[in-house]
Structure 1
Amino acid sequence: MTTISNKVRYYRSDMAGAPVLSGTAGALISVLDACLVDGWDVRVINSLTVADGIATAQISAGHFYGEGDVIRVAGATPAALNGAWRLASVTGSTAVWSVAGLGIAAGSATGTITAMRAPAGWEKVFAATNTAVYRGLDVAGLRHFVRVDDTGTTTARLRGFEEMSDADTGTGPYPTDTQLSGGLWVGKSYAASGTARPWRLVADGRRFAIFSAPYYSNLFNHATFGDLLGAAAGDAYASLCSGPYSSGEAITMYTGQTPRSGNLPHSRTGNSTNGVFLARNGAGVAGAVLAKPIFAGSYVTGAASYATPISGDALPSEPVQILENDSTAGIPRGVAPQVRHLPFSAGSYEGLRGVPGDGLRIVAAHNCFYAIDLGANGKWD
């Protein structure tokens, strides 16, 4: 069994104990806190053994972890067993993962050992009432800041900053107030109520994407933040913030409606209502710039225009390239690895396609054609 990287981590609203996204103030921050910073669903591990490079945890009370999920183990001796692990297989009371090649001796661990659903590796730098500022912990990244204003009920606001000194003060915003005052939008619910709405989130320690279904349970909008993949060496501003451009677009996703604004695979124009912004242009001139997402396949407007997908696990998808749109042609800046374009209707394909830590997860139906990329061997970089 090969040890799979656990850098890219995936979360869903139907995981046991997951935080609730609803039309209430602070609900989005609860989701981001749990997925990015804190984790959740702590379980007592009754026994943890290593044999032939495979760790097996016995959880007598049962658990709800799934194949490919990432858990964080604490309290074990030897200490090398503590940390984050991607699960290779599970039953109702066991979780199994590889420790091959890590020098962990065979035998039984001791201590008061616990497991929890591991967070993605971010810190909550500043907070105020229903407002939070996050930053990725991966020191190889740009480590820009993302501010979430969750004081609203049905929607929240999202905006990147190059620097921040408290929950409300920062420099280098993207978008700027001139481009879109207050930042981009995230849809939570079509109604101001405590009714739970479906969500998905994928992240590593440098970027994330949050998918929400504020209206129908199978129509997802999404917003993204973080470093582009494959940016030129020395490009300190290849950080993306995207999302719906208005509160209406954030929540009114109807059957048959083509995704717009922050839905990156379909935002190809780079115009003022594109909802996709980079921190600065490639020359590093201060001030956010519009971005233009493109992909190899043709742009289409309805499910009838999509090809029939290949059966089984062979679901081809396309990376979303990000161009800075300072000119008509645009300047390539990198790839947004959090989401890929599917050139076909994926209405019945939600779920894992591929193997744990690799492949794709399809997250939406009808005209919302997204693939969450889990990364080759569990990592993007």
Structure 2
Amino acid sequence: MGVTLYRSTDASAPSLNGNSGSLISVLDACLVNGYGSQPAAGWTKAYSGTNQADYKQGTGSNGYYLDVNDNAPTTSQEARMRGYEVMTALGTGTNAFPTASQSTFGVICRKSTATGTTARTWYLIADATCFYLFVETGDNTSPIAPMCFAFGDFFSLKASDTYGTMIIGRNVENANYVWQETFGALMFSQGIMGTNTTPAHYIDRHWTGVGGAIGFNKCSSYFAHGSQNNNPVVMGSQYSLLPYPNGPDGGLELAPVYIVHGGFLRGYLKGIWCPCHNQPLSEGDTVTGTGNMSGKTFLALNHYSTVTIAGNSMAGTGQGQVLIETSNTWS
């Protein structure tokens, strides 16, 4: 299956709101069943219960599982999420990531700032191996900045990396503060080369297969980070060094988002690009690539984070932007 962009504004798209089960409806529709003119992403639903489900990755993936508890485990505004290598029943499996000792509840996917049926704008980008869910929960409205949850395989520098599956979410339950948002955070210098990791960022295992789930950091081009050597920044923020558009080519310059842990570069996220400019586009803008990006299309989404990594606080306002590759060109 190829890459598909699903939106809450699509005909026949399910509604995502602050009630229990609405996330299950969205994941069922996008990953498993399809809706309207949108095909399914190629995942299967292995187990299900009341407002709960376990989803298995599709063809070409590591074949791991995502456990979703959307039955108001603490509040109906959020769901608990955890990855597993193997599952044998609803919410039951082996080799979890994160492990119970790393997090008693897994990671959090926030759906809405309030309970009830108020529909939230959402975007889900997926193939059979990986998906990203961005939700305008109502927590951040000036400017609009979606919350993000991510699960699936990444492009690994190790050939046949059967442990290269990640999960990213929130590390705190039932809170509307933006500092729980971690997806947009980048870390550089000693932070990525040591043992420090970004909250609610987990990989199934080390590339050697030794041990269980491990934490990781993300980094990108120096042009996206500037002089903030130890302070985390949000990708596409005020610390990006290049003016937009870039003078020589009038272009939008993008860089991959790399995965780093234990002092090594493990790989990079599929379909996620970091602008080397300060929020160059408006929320929801789409652009088409040229040159070595020819054939690719992108969706711009704002992001907000004030996460602290290893005692280092987020530099600046925490406002930034990511570019999501929406064409069937992830590579």
TM range (shorter): 0.7 to 0.9
Instruction: Report the CA distance shift for 1:220/1:178 in structure 2 as closer, same or farther (over 3 A).
Output: same
TM-score (norm 2): 0.79
8 Å CA contact retained: 2:238, 2:320: no
The amino acid across from 1:286 in the alignment is G
| Aligned: 1:245 with 2:164 | no
Q: Which runs of 4+ in 1 moved over 6 A?
A: none
User: What is the SS of the residue equivalent to 2:156?
Assistant: coil
Q: How do 1:192-341 residues align onto structure 2 when only pairs under 5 Å count?
A: 192-214=115-137, 215-216=139-140, 218-248=144-174, 251-253=176-178, 261-266=181-186, 269=191, 271=196, 274-296=199-221, 297-298=224-225, 300=233, 303-306=237-240, 307-310=242-245, 314-324=251-261, 327=262, 330-341=263-274
Give the secondary-structure state (helix, strand or coil) at the position aligned to 2:18: coil
Cα pair 1:22 1:154 within 8 Å, conserved: yes
- Per the normalisation by structure 1, the TM-score is 0.69
Q: Deviations over 1:3-41 (max 9, x none)?
A: xxx711111112222111110001111111111111112
Name the structure 2 match of 1:358: 296
Which residue is 1:21 aligned to? 16
Partner of 1:345: 279
Q: 1:126 aligns with which of 47, 67, 70?
A: 47
For 2:250 and 2:283, the matched residues in 1 are separated by 10
SS state at 2:30 partner: helix
Q: SS in structure 2 opposite 1:35? A: helix
Moved more, 126-135 or 272-281: 272-281
Q: Percent identity?
A: 29
Residues 1:163 and 1:13: Cα distance change in structure 2 (over 3 Å): same
- After superposing the two structures, state which structure 1 stretch, 348-357 or 288-297, moved more: 348-357
| CA-CA distance at 1:262 after TM superposition | 3.4
Deviations 1:167-210 (CA, angstroms, capped at 9, x unpaired)? 12100100011111121001111111110111111011101111
Q: Contact 2:6–2:38 (CA<8 Å) still a contact in 1?
A: no
- Give a deviation string over 1:257-287, Cα, whole Å, max 9, x none: xx75531443665646621101011210131
Matched residue type, 1:187? R
Higher-Rg structure is 1
8 Å contact 1:144–1:163 — kept in the other structure? Answer: yes
AA aligned opposite 1:310: P
Cα shift at 1:304: 4.3
Structure 1 gaps, min length 5 = 1-5, 42-115, 254-258
Tell me how far apart the structure 1 counterparts of residues 56 and 5 of structure 2 sit (CA, whole Å): 18
Question: Any gaps of 5 or more consecutive residues in structure 2?
Answer: 305-318
How many residues align structurally?
289
Is residue 57–residue 130 contact of structure 2 (8 Å, CA) maintained in 1? yes
**Correspondence 1:82-97 to 2 at 5 A:** none
Question: RMSD of aligned C-alpha atoms?
Answer: 2.6
CA distance in 2, matches of 1:263, 1:13: 21
The answer to whether the 8 Å contact 2:197/2:217 transfers is no
